[in-house]
């Protein structure tokens, strides 16, 4: 299959492909999504195939802004949710979330309606719904009379794409088209939440809407889902331990590189001396060239450095750059990669930390004693 790279002016062409049951990667404010008609089981099935995604990992359904007026009623009339299963005491909380965070990077889990095929929710009783904020994708949705099921447009387990070129790298030859809407502004995926009661919202995946923002807006308790249920079934598959992973060994440092002990540096040197190529380093803040020079002086070996922002604590920029930096390190000459641990667990730091934990999940062992 030849994958077309469509310009932003060609959204009507993208709409035609989707109407025929084809797949188009679309820009959203968070990351690019791999979209197909959410009400068409064949189109949804093709999404799983193109991504090589296991069928137990459910998809988010993307909505047009037309649902902003009386959303619960309209969603129910279109068969996307089952309003009868939403108790009246949680409706005001859902409405507050929609009013404040849609369109935007918040995915709400609600009882699914008849029009949503089993495959979209992996047979689960709730469907993940979100209204993307990207103007081009909203234009595209306004051409369609169905919503779009769209996981992130990467092969399963790989780095999420935040630019059209990155989607091409992941899925060229597997999908009909990529609609180029420029780089994504948020850079990490949506926050996935479930309403537990009128007094509690649970975060299943941290993302673009922060826990603090949810708390301030709703004034209810915000809890965190446990990564795995007791029977080891995943409660939210975005919570798979290993995810977002580059194609090469990727280790999380125990501290910022400047605070590494001599012992730890020795361990890293030993690991690298077997290797001819430079090592790749994801560093949170600072000027890339300066960090590179300092690190090379300390390590005595060549390095490739990517920083998330030149400005300390610029979390918005850090989130925007995260997946791009990871991809650049993956595609560089570096054979082994390191990342600093995320210096904050609050705000966007929560989502960034989560992604880095998962990206390094299979490579923890070198820090263990004797390893
Ligand atoms: O920002 C985003 O959310 C991006 C853009 C494209 O919208 N999409 C995205 O989709 O990140 P994906 O498929 O990579 O991650 C979706 C995750 C699932 O892995 C799961 O954690 C959660 O959302 N999810 C979706 N539907 C669910 C459901 N019915 N029940 C539980 N979790 C669900
Ligand atoms: Mg994903």
Write down how long the chain is. Answer: 371
**Which ligand neighbours the alpha carbon of 33 most closely?**
1
Contact 141, 64 (CB under 8 A): yes
**Which ligand neighbours the alpha carbon of 188 most closely?**
1
Does the C-beta of 202 come closer than 6 Å to ligand 1?
Answer: no
Does the C-beta of 109 come closer than 6 Å to ligand 1?
Answer: yes
Q: What pTM does this model have?
A: 0.96
Pocket test for ligand 1, best of 23, 104, 107, 149 (most atoms within 8 A of CB): 107
The three-state secondary structure class of 37 is strand
**Which ligand neighbours the alpha carbon of 192 most closely?**
1
**Which ligand neighbours the alpha carbon of 245 most closely?**
2
Rounded CA separation 48/44 (Å): 7
Rounded CA separation 236/58 (Å): 8
Does the C-beta of 31 come closer than 6 Å to ligand 1?
Answer: yes
**Smallest Cα–Cα separation from 127: which of 54, 61, 197?**
61
Dig out the tokens for 89 from the structure. Answer: 């005491």
Contact 250, 279 (CB under 8 A): no
Q: Which atom of ligand 1 is nearest to the CA of 127?
A: 29
Does the C-beta of 121 come closer than 6 Å to ligand 1?
Answer: yes
Q: Which atom of ligand 1 is nearest to the CA of 107?
A: 3
Rounded CA separation 283/343 (Å): 11
Dig out the tokens for 262 from the structure. Answer: 């001599």
Question: Position of tokens 């430079």?
Answer: 278
Rounded CA separation 311/343 (Å): 14
Does the C-beta of 150 come closer than 6 Å to ligand 1?
Answer: yes
Q: How far is the CA of 341 from the centre of ligand 1 (A)?
A: 24
Pocket test for ligand 1, best of 237, 240, 320, 351 (most atoms within 8 A of CB): 237
Ligand 1 atom 31 nearest Cα? 236
Q: What is the pLDDT along the chain (371 residues), one digit of tens a residue?
A: 999 999 999 999 999 999 999 999 999 999 999 999 999 999 999 999 999 999 999 999 999 999 999 999 999 999 999 999 999 999 999 999 999 999 999 999 999 999 999 999 999 999 999 999 999 999 999 999 999 999 999 999 999 999 999 999 999 999 999 999 999 999 999 999 999 999 999 999 999 999 999 999 999 999 999 765 444 455 555 566 778 889 999 999 999 999 999 999 999 999 898 778 899 999 999 999 999 999 999 999 999 999 999 999 999 999 999 999 999 999 999 999 999 999 999 999 999 999 999 999 988 777 765 44
Rounded CA separation 144/272 (Å): 53
Rounded CA separation 120/110 (Å): 13
Q: How far is the CA of 109 from the centre of ligand 1 (A)?
A: 10
Rounded CA separation 24/234 (Å): 28
Q: How far is the CA of 130 from the centre of ligand 1 (A)?
A: 10
**Smallest Cα–Cα separation from 96: which of 223, 224, 216?**
216
Contact 239, 228 (CB under 8 A): yes
C-alpha dist (Å) from residue 367 to 258, 273, 296:
17, 17, 21
Q: Pairing relation of β-strands 337-339 and 250-252? A: parallel
Dig out the tokens for 103 from the structure. Answer: 């369109």
| CA pseudo-torsion sign 144, 108, 25, 317 | positive
Does the C-beta of 58 come closer than 6 Å to ligand 1?
Answer: yes
Dig out the tokens for 187 from the structure. Answer: 């850079």
């Amino acid at each position: 299959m030849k994958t077309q790279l469509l310009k932003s002016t060609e959204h009507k062409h993208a709409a035609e492909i989707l109407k025929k049951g084809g797949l188009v990667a679309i820009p959203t404010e968070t990351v690019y999504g791999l979209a197909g008609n959410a009400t068409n089981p064949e189109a949804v099935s093709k999404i799983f195939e193109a991504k090589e995604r296991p069928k137990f990992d459910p998809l988010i359904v993307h909505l047009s802004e037309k649902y902003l007026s009386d959303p619960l009623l309209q969603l129910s009339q279109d068969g996307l949710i089952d309003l009868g299963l939403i108790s009246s005491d949680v409706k005001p909380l859902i409405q507050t979330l929609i009013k404040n965070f849609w369109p935007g990077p918040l995915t709400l889990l609600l009882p699914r309606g008849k029009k949503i095929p089993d495959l979209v929710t992996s047979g689960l009783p709730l469907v993940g719904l979100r209204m993307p904020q990207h103007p081009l994708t909203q234009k595209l949705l306004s051409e369609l009379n169905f919503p779009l099921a769209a996981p992130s447009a990467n092969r399963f387990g790989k780095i999420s794409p935040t630019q059209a070129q990155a989607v091409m790298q992941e899925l060229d030859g597997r999908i009909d088209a990529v609609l180029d809407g420029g780089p994504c502004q948020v850079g990490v995926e949506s926050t996935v939440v479930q309403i537990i009661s009128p007094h509690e919202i649970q975060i299943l995946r941290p993302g673009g809407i922060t826990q603090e923002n949810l708390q301030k807006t709703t004034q209810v308790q915000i809890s965190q889902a446990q990564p795995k249920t007791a029977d080891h079934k995943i409660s939210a598959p975005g919570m798979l331990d290993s995810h977002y992973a580059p194609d090469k060994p990727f280790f999380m440092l125990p501290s910022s590189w400047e605070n590494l002990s001599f012992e730890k540096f020795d361990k890293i040197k030993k690991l690298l001396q077997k290797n001819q190529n430079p090592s790749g380093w994801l560093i949170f803040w600072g000027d890339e060239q300066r960090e590179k020079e300092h690190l090379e002086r300390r390590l005595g070996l060549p390095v490739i450095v990517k920083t998330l922002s030149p400005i300390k604590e610029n979390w918005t920029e850090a989130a925007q750059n995260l997946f791009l930096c990871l991809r650049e390190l993956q595609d560089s000459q570096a054979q082994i990669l390191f990342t600093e641990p995320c210096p904050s667990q609050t705000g966007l730091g929560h989502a960034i930390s989560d992604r880095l934990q998962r990206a390094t999940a299979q490579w923890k062992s070198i820090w263990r004693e004797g390893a």
